[in-house]
A and B are shown apart, each in its own frame.
Chain A
Amino acid sequence: MSRVLAYCGFLDDGQITLPKAGVNDAPVEVLACGDLRLLWSEIEWPFEQAGLQRNALDFHRVIHHVFQQTAVVPFRLLSVFDDLGALEVFAAENGERFVADLKRLREYVQMESVVYIIAPRMPADPESGRAYLQQKAAAIRLSAEHAAAVKEAVNAISRDVHVREVKNGSRIFVLVKRGDEDRFRKAVESVPLKEPVSRRVSGPWPAAEFLSAAVKTPQTAGQP
């Protein structure tokens, strides 16, 4: 069956170039609703499992194409609408909130640093269990200290910071001005690493972590 896959929303200033093809080479279409533009494609649903990785990359490339030029509100890959009419209703109901977030985040991108520990191996000898737990607790403490230091290091260039605890560490989301990506990387790299703590930096990404709750989980037609 065919469904409507929404990629992202953005504000069109008349200069934005759009990708021609999206997931599974489907043509990329634009829905206009006031100042808001939504990119979408008609796709066969559900996706074939074998092509899922390619679909994810195609989806990412469409969003990234626009994101390189302006702020976007990305949709999630597995979120689809029944048909174009449903997307139009959605846009009419949620357009103003999308526009408000896009204006608020217009000049910003999201950078991320994941701080994690390479956990010590559980020894075969059970009598060493206590030492193992102590070692692991110390590593977790080091990781938390490192995450705090990273947060402090990016303070001068961050508009907002969210920290989420994840397995074996923390994921730090930082809202920075577009163009400050290298400053972010340098700020993170300025924090010395102590084993067994490690970290990874990525970005720029659309500022999805900093969307308002009403935009992240919007009301859809028929919902109360």
Chain B
Amino acid sequence: MPSDFEPITLTGSAAEDVSLLEIIDHVLNAGVVIHGSLVISVAGVDLVYVGLNVVLTSVETALRNLRASDAAEGAIQRRTDR
């Protein structure tokens, strides 16, 4: 909710106040996705509406998945090849 958003100021000539969570949401959820099957576990969470701890927990989960996937690269390749 709005109170969960911590405004930050980006450096630059035209400083803009944007929420940290919105930035995290955009860098994780918006744009080109290469390993779709790995990112979906993050993208499925509506990051803008949850607290930062939950966001980091979600990312943590994604990273755990990535590490597990890296340990079994053959499995990843089969998944992304589909």
Interface residues in chain A, defined as those with a beta carbon under 8 Å from any beta carbon in chain B? 1, 6, 8-9, 46-47, 49, 52-53, 56-57, 59-61, 63-64, 68, 73-81, 90, 114, 116, 118, 166-168, 171, 198, 200, 202, 205-206, 208-209, 211, 215-218, 220, 222-224
Q: Judge if B44 is at the interface, Cβ distance under 8 Å.
A: no
How many residues on B have C-beta within 8 angstroms of the other chain's C-beta atoms?
42
Interface centre among A64, A73, A118, A168 (most CB of B within 10 A): A64
Distance in angstroms between the alpha carbons of A84 and B80 in the assembled complex: 19
7 contacts between A and B (CB under 8 A): A6-B34, A46-B70, A49-B63, A52-B59, A76-B33, A78-B42, A222-B77
Interface residues in chain B, defined as those with a beta carbon under 8 Å from any beta carbon in chain A? 1-2, 5, 10-12, 14, 18-20, 22-24, 26-36, 38-39, 42, 46, 48-49, 56, 59-60, 62-63, 66-67, 70, 77, 80-82
Q: Do A57 and B30 touch (CB < 8 A)? A: no
Closest to A94 in B: B32
Smallest CB–CB gap between B32 and chain A, Å? 5
Q: Do B32 and A205 touch (CB < 8 A)? A: no
Distance in angstroms between the alpha carbons of A9 and B19 in the assembled complex: 24
Q: A79-B39, A167-B49, A205-B26 are in contact. Are A61 and B10 (CB under 8 A)?
A: yes
Q: Do B81 and A205 touch (CB < 8 A)? A: no
Which of chain A's residues have a CB closer than 8 A to the CB of B24?
Answer: 53, 56
Q: Do A220 and B80 touch (CB < 8 A)? A: yes
Smallest CB–CB gap between A36 and chain B, Å? 12
Supply 9 further A-B pairs (C-beta < 8 A) apart from A74-B32, A78-B35.
A6-B32, A52-B63, A53-B20, A63-B27, A74-B27, A76-B28, A77-B28, A118-B1, A218-B34
Closest to B39 in A: A78
Q: A79-B32, A200-B2 are in contact. Are A208 and B39 (CB under 8 A)?
A: no
User: Which residue of B33, B36, B59, B81 contacts A224 across the interface (Cβ within 8 Å)?
Assistant: B81
Q: A76-B27, A118-B1, A208-B30 are in contact. Are A223 and B49 (CB under 8 A)?
A: no
Distance in angstroms between the alpha carbons of A61 and B35 in the assembled complex: 23
Which of chain A's residues have a CB closer than 8 A to the CB of B46?
Answer: 166-167
Which of chain A's residues have a CB closer than 8 A to the CB of B59?
Answer: 49, 52
Q: Do B10 and A116 touch (CB < 8 A)? A: no
Distance in angstroms between the alpha carbons of A223 and B78 in the assembled complex: 10
Which of chain B's residues have a CB closer than 8 A to the CB of A77?
Answer: 27-28
Q: Do A76 and B49 touch (CB < 8 A)? A: no
Closest to A58 in B: B27
Interface centre among A61, A77, A166, A211 (most CB of B within 10 A): A77
Distance in angstroms between the alpha carbons of A68 and B16 in the assembled complex: 12
Q: Do A74 and B49 touch (CB < 8 A)? A: no
Distance in angstroms between the alpha carbons of A74 and B77 in the assembled complex: 24
User: Which residue of A53, A200, A206, A222 contacts B56 across the interface (Cβ within 8 Å)?
Assistant: A53
Which of chain A's residues have a CB closer than 8 A to the CB of B18?
Answer: 202
